[in-house]
């Protein structure tokens, strides 16, 4: 290298600013990346257990099939049955969890909507946007692990 280090000046700063603007067009940061990182970190922080799709034998439909209207998840501590329906043209979700007074969150991207199960263990959300969704169930006992379900297509 023959050039001696020179201090940066206003032209250098302007060149770097212009490059940053060009990069924002040529290779933008994916819009959902920050939200996905935060979600991954929140799961790691909670030490959440990933629920499994229950095998209910004949008639079970994969959660990725758009027409799936009823899905059951199980974990070591609980069961969540989800029924996807329509209410005046809008999606609605009714779910039953194993117990009353349990907080269940419907998570769609960065959107999280919490609901508490009634005495029959029922929770519902309406209207619901179509797209990928997962459910987060708060621990049933203090010191227990929260449960997160895999994503399903609504």
Partner 1 sequence: MTAREVEESLTTRAAAAFIEYRDGDLQGLHRLVAVVTPVLWHVARSCGLSQQNAEDTVQTTWLKLVEHAPGITTPEAVLGWLCTTTKREAWRVQRLARTVDLVDEPDLEPTVETPHDPAKVASMNDEARRLWGHFVTLSPRCQQILRVVCMGGAPDYAGLAEAMGVPSGSIGPTRGRCLAALRRALLDDPHWSLT
Rg of the chain on CA atoms, in Å: 23
d(CA 17, CA 62): 48
Q: Cβ of residue 151: shortest distance to partner 1, in angstroms?
A: 16
Bridge-based pairing of strands 132-137 and 111-116 is unpaired
Indicate whether 116 belongs to the interface with partner 1 (CB under 8 A). Answer: no
Indicate whether 44 belongs to the interface with partner 1 (CB under 8 A). Answer: yes
Tokens of 96: 């039953």
Decide whether 5 or 57 has the Cβ nearer to partner 1. Answer: 5
- With 0-12 / 13-18 / 19 or more C-beta atoms within 10 angstroms meaning exposed / middle / buried, residue 133 is buried
Indicate whether 31 belongs to the interface with partner 1 (CB under 8 A). Answer: no
Indicate whether 110 belongs to the interface with partner 1 (CB under 8 A). Answer: no
Enumerate binding residues for partner 1 (CB under 8 A). 1, 3, 5-8, 11-30, 33-34, 36-38, 40-41, 44-45
């Amino acid at each position: 290298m023959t050039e001696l280090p020179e201090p940066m000046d206003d032209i250098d700063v302007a060149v770097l600013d212009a490059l940053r603007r060009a990069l924002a067009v040529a290779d933008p940061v994916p819009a959902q990346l920050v939200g996905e990182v935060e979600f991954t970190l929140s799961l790691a922080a909670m030490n959440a257990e990933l629920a499994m799709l229950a095998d209910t034998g004949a008639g079970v439909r994969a959660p990725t099939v758009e027409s799936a209207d009823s899905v059951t998840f199980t974990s070591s501590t609980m069961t969540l049955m989800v029924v996807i329906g329509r209410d005046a043209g809008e999606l609605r979700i009714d779910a039953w969890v194993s117990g009353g007074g349990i907080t269940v969150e419907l998570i769609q991207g960065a959107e999280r909507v919490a609901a508490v199960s009634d005495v029959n263990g029922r929770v519902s959300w309406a209207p619901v946007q179509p797209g990928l969704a997962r459910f987060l169930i708060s621990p049933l006992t203090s010191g227990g692990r929260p449960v997160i379900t895999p994503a399903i297509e609504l």
